[in-house]
Amino acid sequence: MSSPQSLAHPPIDFVSGDFDALATHMRHCARAQGRWFAFNSHLQQVRSVAAGRIVTLACVAAVFAVGLYAVA
């Protein structure tokens, strides 16, 4: 007596997921060796520093605006 097809577990394919991840990683590495690598690296560093400042500035501006609204 065989089990119905709906209860059988489908085979899990780990290889294609690993292959896709490896291909993505290899494309990333290939792009990193391009002529714009230094510029992109510096831009990424500036973006990470500015992101923290932008959030802090937005929070301070919101508190300041609420304070002005409360005074007015």
Residue 67 has pLDDT above 80, yes or no: yes
Confidence bin at 39 (pLDDT 50/70/90): confident
Residue 32 has pLDDT above 80, yes or no: no
Q: Where are the alpha helices (DSSP H) in 5-36?
A: 14-32
The pLDDT of 9-28, averaged and rounded, is 78
Task: Report which listed range, 1-15, 32-46, 58-72, is most confident.
Answer: 58-72
